[in-house]
Structures are given as C-alpha cells and as structure tokens.
Chains A and B, each alone.
Chain A
Amino acid sequence: MKLKNKDLLGLEYLSKDEIQLILDTAVPFKKLFTRSIKKVPTLRGKTVVLLFYEPSTRTRVSFELAAKRLSADTVNIATASSSVQKGESLIDTGKTLEAMKADFVVIRHSMSGAAHVLARNISSSVINAGDGSHEHPTQGLLDIFTIREKKGKIEGLKVVIVGDITHSRVARSNIWGLTKLGADVTVCGPSTLIPKDIQKTGVNVSYDIDTAIKDADVINVLRIQLERQRENLFPSLREYTLLYGLNQYRIKKARKDVLILHPGPMNRGIEITSDVADSSQAVINEQVTNGIAIRMAVLYLLAGAENKTV
C-alpha cells in the first residue's frame, strides 16, 4: 500500500485507506521518541524546504523536527527576509527551490489553494501546512491520530468541533478525515461563523454548545481568530466566551470520558478556560507530540509515492 500522489494537499483528496495508512505508519515513528537516539537514517540525503508565508511556531518546528528525525536536511525560508519581498511570485520561488533539487516543499500561505498552485508547477513533493481557510491536512491527521489512540477507533464516535468553522482550515481537514473514517461530526458555533452549506459535507450543525457536547466522545475546540472580531462576525469576545467558551460547568454536564482537543495556540479564558485546558481530559500536549510522528509518516510515505512526475 502506498500514497497515490506526490503531494499532500488536503484530506479531501485522500481515500479512507490512504488516511489509515498514514495513521498506521505514524505508530512506529512515535515509538522512536522514547529512545535516546530519536533519529533514523530513512531519508538521509533528502532536502526538505520549509516555505512559510504566514507566522507559525508549532507547525514549522514540528515539520523541522520530523524531517530531522528522519535524517533529512531542512532549509527554512522566512519570507519576510527573502526574494518574496522583492516581488517574486509563488511559482518562481517554487521553480527556484525545484532547481535547487528540494525533494519536499512544505508550504504555508494565507491564500487558499496556494499549495495546489505550487504542486502543479514543480516536481518536488508539496505538503500543505495550511492554505488560507482551506485545509491543514497534517493537523487534521494528528487530531484523528490522537483520537484513535485514546478511543481505539474513529468509526461511530461523536465528535464536536466548536468555534469559527468558516475561517478554519483545521475544521475543514478534520471534517474530511473524520467523516471518511465514519465518525459522526457536529460543528458548533455562532451562525455567522458557520458556512451556510456545511451540511453537504455530511456534518450536523448546532448553534447551542450545551446540547452539542451533551453526549460527545470528543470536543475539538478551535482557536478564535481575534482579527475576525474586527469584521463584526460576533458582537464581543465576552459574549463569545459566555455562549461558546468551554468551561468546567459545561464539561461537568458532558460525558466523564470526553476527550478535549485544541490545535493551539490557545486563547486561555476565551474559547477554553485554563482549568479545562489543563484537565486530565485534555490531550493538547499529546497532540503536539503526535504531530511530529504524523509528519514523519507523511514524509516517509511521500518519498515512496506512486506518481512522482508533475
């Protein structure tokens, strides 16, 4: 079994089997982390370029550690101090990296579809590390991996995703992946932050968090993007916290074994209170650890993918 495409652009384009293959491959990689030498020589001599047009700490560091633990060489491009500032186009930047024989280009960009544009134009494997409000496939995969590890399965689980669904690439990747694996997904948030036709993707919609989380197995809390408040999509942060913030009172009414995820970075006291974020039901730090294993699995599998030509 192997991946069909040279690129990982989103979970929308992966089959159920391919998603499962990535999850299964991440398991032995995670076991390496308990060894004193956490590095294996699997991708020795390969080059991974990290091309980030948007700020990021955990995703970039996670990809870099994943590549380094596979013995690949990594190059970071901070676009603020690169030729991008001189007006170089995305495709030209990509072609330059291709000419330098980069085997992988990991890209984050504020424009939805940026990773696709790059993937179509260069022969290197392109990994989408977040494109606008479209997808963030490795985050979706690590969330699903964490849920599967804790609950033993995905099929039949009730998963609630709370927050700004419209602008969230994390939500979109989770929805694609979870529904493909047979979970029962509900999105929850203010009506202004939920796309009108979201039901078409096979999810339920709820505007009331207390009803939504009542018998949920998993709650994935999204970060409120503070800049959205300036667009008047919700009246005030205080009101959002009151209506949709996850706190101890709400959790008490949910299942005892409910699993709480957050992709980070957290706005403590806004979408999630500190006592919930630090509770035993929360697996937020484990998500970070699992993220490296998932990204190692993705790099490893793409190195042997079927369709290597553009």
Chain B
Amino acid sequence: MAKRTIMTEKEISLSIEKISGDILKKNPDLKNLVLIGIVTRGVCLANRLAKEISKKKNINLPVGSLDITFYRDDVDSIARQPLAKETKIPFDLTSKKIILVDDVLFTGRSIRAALDEIMDFARPKSVQLAVLIDRGHRELPIQADFVGKTIKTNYSDQIQVQLKEVDGVDRVTYEVKK
C-alpha cells in the first residue's frame, strides 16, 4: 500500500502550539524548566517548542540534545551499528524539570534509554515526555505527558516524521507494511 500523509505542515505546527500550551498549563512555574530532544528529530521539535513558548511567555528555555545510541539494548542484534551523533547538554540538569521530546512514541525502548542517559548526567527534579505521535505498542510501562496526535497502527506499519530542518519538508506519513 502506498504512503499516505496523516499530518500536514499546518497540523504539525498546530500540534506544536497545542503541546506548548499544555506544557505551560502543567508547569506554571517556568523556572528550572528545560527541553531535551532525542536526536535527530526530537531536537528539532524541542527547538520549535522552545520558540513557541518564548513567543507566549517571552522566556528562552534551555534546549539540549540527547543521542541514545550508547544506551540502546540491541547493540548486537540490529542490522547495522548506528553512528552516534552528539549529546549536547550545555547546562546542569540537577533539580531541573525536564521536558523530554521525541517524534514518535512506539515501544518505549528509546525513552527507557534516554531516561538512563539523563540519570547519568544528574538527578533531575522530574522528567515529562512530549511526543508528536503516539502510535501504541508499548513494550515498557512508559507513557507520554503531552501528545500531538494518537493513531492506531499495526506493529509492522511505518510512521515517518519529516521535518524541515532535516528533511526539507514538514509531513508525517503512514505506510502499511506486511
């Protein structure tokens, strides 16, 4: 079956607006709030959320990037060894309220890896999770605090998030795979 678009540029930007509003509602005190995106597209989304929040509240929240390659649980079973990119967190995470940002929430394993890596940096006050898409099929007890769009999928289906910063276009596509 062909790919179909399930989110357009407009819908993605509306989602960012909605998520940033939800973040502000749940965290009225912006002191100690930081955004950390999971490499690669989570970082783009974290930057967009920060921009949206600065528009609304005139405050620039710190944004960091997290590469979870070294924390994966499938080092010797994946098809290829992914080349790690950079983890860049240029601020102390101790006692911070972290908003962890990723594009798609699926099995929950990436989030488990991200949480482990964050704990190796410091002991944050709390971690909340924001994702653009929740597609179900969790294999770990992990849930998102902020979701752009929830969709029902089969395990083998493919969801692809494309963002301007990396792919030159804003779009989410869905492909049924057998």
Among A23-31, A148-156, A249-257, A279-287, the stretch in contact with B? A23-31
Among A21, A24, A37, A43, which residue has its beta carbon within 8 angstroms of that of B121?
A37
Interface string of B70-82 (1 = CB under 8 A from A): 1110011010110
Complex contacts, B75 vs chain A, CB 8 Å:
42-43, 300, 303-304
Are B76's CB and A41's CB within 8 A? no
Within 8 A of A (CB), among B77-100: 78, 80-81, 83-87
| Of B70, B71, B78, B87, most A-chain CB atoms within 10 Å | B70
Are B81's CB and A41's CB within 8 A? no
Interface string of A22-52 (1 = CB under 8 A from B): 0011001101100111011111000000000
Task: State the total of A-B contacts with C-beta under 8 angstroms.
Answer: 52
Are A28's CB and B71's CB within 8 A? no
Chain A residue at minimum C-beta to C-beta distance from B117: A40
Q: Does A100 contact B (CB under 8 A)?
A: no
**B168, chain A: closest CB distance, angstroms:** 24
Chain A interface mostly: loop
| Of B71, B116, B120, most A-chain CB atoms within 10 Å | B120
Are A35's CB and B121's CB within 8 A? yes
Q: Does A1 contact B (CB under 8 A)?
A: yes
Distance A131 CA – B126 CA, assembled complex (angstroms): 52
Q: Does B67 contact A (CB under 8 A)?
A: yes
Number of interface residues of A (CB under 8 A): 22
Are B83's CB and A304's CB within 8 A? no
Are A28's CB and B86's CB within 8 A? yes
Are B76's CB and A304's CB within 8 A? yes
Q: Does A2 contact B (CB under 8 A)?
A: yes
Chain B residue at minimum C-beta to C-beta distance from A32: B70
Q: Does A301 contact B (CB under 8 A)?
A: yes
Complex contacts, A41 vs chain B, CB 8 Å:
70-71, 116
Are A28's CB and B84's CB within 8 A? yes
Interface residue range, chain B: 10 to 19
Distance A1 CA – B82 CA, assembled complex (angstroms): 8
**A102, chain B: closest CB distance, angstroms:** 15
Q: Does B69 contact A (CB under 8 A)?
A: yes
Complex contacts, A2 vs chain B, CB 8 Å:
80-81
| Of B67, B71, B83, B86, most A-chain CB atoms within 10 Å | B83
Distance A31 CA – B116 CA, assembled complex (angstroms): 18
Are B78's CB and A304's CB within 8 A? yes
A304 and B80 in contact (CB under 8 A), knowing A37-B120, A41-B116?
yes
Distance A308 CA – B117 CA, assembled complex (angstroms): 29
Distance A227 CA – B148 CA, assembled complex (angstroms): 70
Chain A residue at minimum C-beta to C-beta distance from B77: A304
Distance A24 CA – B173 CA, assembled complex (angstroms): 31
Among B69, B76, B81, B120, which residue has its beta carbon within 8 angstroms of that of A28?
B69
Within 8 A of B (CB), among A5-32: 21, 24-25, 28-29, 31-32
Chain A residue at minimum C-beta to C-beta distance from B67: A28
Chain B residue at minimum C-beta to C-beta distance from A41: B71
Within 8 A of B (CB), among A38-71: 39-43, 70
Are B80's CB and A25's CB within 8 A? no
CB<8 Å pairs between A and B, sample of 7:
A25-B81, A32-B70, A40-B70, A40-B117, A300-B70, A304-B80, A304-B81
Query: Apart from A40-B71, A41-B71, what are 15 other A-B pairs with CB-CB below 8 Å?
Result: A1-B81, A2-B80, A21-B83, A25-B84, A28-B67, A28-B84, A28-B86, A31-B87, A37-B120, A40-B117, A41-B70, A70-B70, A301-B81, A303-B76, A304-B80
* A contacts, CB < 8 Å to B: 1-2, 21, 24-25, 28-29, 31-32, 35-37, 39-43, 70, 300-301, 303-304
